[in-house]
Copies of this chain bind each other. A is one copy, B any other.
Amino acid sequence: MTGAFGLKQIIEGALLAAGGPLTPDQLLGLFGEEERPDRDQVLETLASLEADYAERGIELVQVAGGYRVQVRREVAPWVGRLWEEKPVRYSRALLETLALIAYRQPITRGEIEDIRGVSVSTSIVKTLAEREWIRIVGHRDVPGRPALYATTRKFLDYFGLRSLNDLPTLAEIRDPELLGDELDLGEMDESPAQGDPSPPVVVPTPEAGRDG
Spell out A's residues near B (CB within 8 Å).
2-5, 8-14, 16-18, 22-23, 25-26, 29-31, 55-58, 64-66, 69, 71-72, 74-76, 78-79, 81-82, 85, 106, 122, 125-126, 129, 132, 135-139, 144-148, 150, 162-165, 186, 188-190, 192-193, 195-196, 198-212
Contacts and interface: CB of A to CB of B under 8 A. Distances in A.
The DSSP consensus for interface residues of chain A is mixed
A-B residue pairs, 9 tightest by C-beta? A138-B200, A13-B57, A12-B57, A9-B57, A163-B207, A13-B71, A5-B74, A13-B75, A147-B192
A31 B79 CA distance: 9
Contact of A16 (B8, B11, B58): B58
Among A58, A74, A212, residue most surrounded by chain B Cβ atoms (within 10 Å): A212
A146 to B, nearest CB: 6
Copies of this protein in the complex: 2
A208 B74 contact: no
Contacts of A202: 106, 137-138, 148, 150, 200-203
Given A13-B58, A138-B201, A147-B190, 13 more contacts: A4-B55, A8-B57, A9-B55, A9-B56, A13-B78, A13-B79, A14-B78, A29-B81, A137-B201, A138-B196, A139-B200, A198-B205, A201-B202
Given A136-B196, A202-B137, A16 B16 contact: yes
Contacts of A162: 211
A112 to B, nearest CB: 14
